Amino acid sequence: MRIDIFTLFPGMFEGPLTESMMKRAQEMGAFSLHLHNIRDYTTDTHNTADEPPYGGGGGMIMKPEPVIAAIEDVLPAERDFPVILLSPQGRVLTQAVAQELAQAERLAMVCGHYEGVDERVRQLVINDEISIGDYVLTGGELAAMVIVDAVVRLLPAVLGDPDAPAKDSHATGLLEHPHYTRPPEFRGLAVPDVLISGHRAKIEKWRREESLRRTWRRRPDLLLTAELSKEDSLFLFTLAEEDIERKRAEMDARIAGSDVG
């Protein structure tokens, strides 16, 4: 996969995309990263890439000329791959979106900055917009790094274990189960016996139930779209009953405490 990133601040990508797994993925040829400085496509002596908005208001707007000139110089005229504007107005990045993007042979990302980009950039050269969440960053550079990481780790052979991505949180619609490693006991907290039992079927059952438990307690909204078996549904029903009993006990304790007072 080839990834092109258009940015006013290419130096921001040093470190996050040149270390650890991203570095190894590039060395093994899983993807190549190409950074393009939008200021290189400005035409004045001050390399002006932004202007105040028409109509007034705070902040500056990225000019259309250098952004579009950069894209048209680097990318082919026929762009049958995602050309993404990182924007809080875009569709929200999810694991499913990352999996979709991982199928492309090439990706291009445009990092907005300041108050945003001139609308004509969207109209002329953008075919997708992505947000990494419902909050605002100072620019699209951090969002681009997140997308690169989320996508590249899904490429073949990057993680070593080809089944690893399918086990991640959100990959199955659920949060991942707890993990443990050595030592078997640490500060009074022990590894669950089932994990050191060597009984593969029991281990898988425990992991599935803990994944369901964690999702139920932390992100119950995910259960609305997760693929659940009959056994999963029965286990969730048990969790719901446990929660009802716990809340009833807490209420009884409060009532008893108020009576004493």
Tell me: the pLDDT tens digits for 36-58? 999 999 999 999 999 999 999 88
pLDDT given at position 163:
67
Domain ranges for the chain, please list them: 2-152, 169-261
Active site amino acids: 88, 115, 153, 168
The interaxial angle of helices 141-152 and 20-27, nearest 10 deg, is 60
The dotted CATH code for 169-261 is: 1.10.1270.20
Q: Is the bond preceding 183 in cis, omega lying within 30 degrees of 0?
A: yes
Distance of CA 236 to the CA centre of its chain: 27
pLDDT given at position 157:
87
Number of CB atoms found within 10 A of residue 98's CB: 22
Q: Which fold has domain 2-152?
A: Alpha/beta knot (3.40.1280)
**Helix, strand, coil tally for the chain in percent (to 5):** 45, 15, 40
Instruction: Spell out a b/e string for 122-156, using b for 16 or more CB atoms within 10 Å of the CB, else e.
Output: beebbebbbbbeeeebebbbbbbbbbbbbbbbbbe
Tell me: the pLDDT tens digits for 182-206? 999 999 999 999 999 999 999 999 9
Q: Which residues have a Cβ under 8 Å from the Cβ of 44 and sit 6 or more positions away?
A: none
pLDDT given at position 27:
97
Tell me: the pLDDT tens digits for 50-109? 999 999 988 999 999 999 999 999 999 999 999 999 999 999 999 999 999 999 999 999
- Amino acid 41 reads Y
pLDDT given at position 121:
98
- What is the β-pairing status of strands 32-37 and 189-190? unpaired
57 is written with which tokens?
Answer: 């208001």
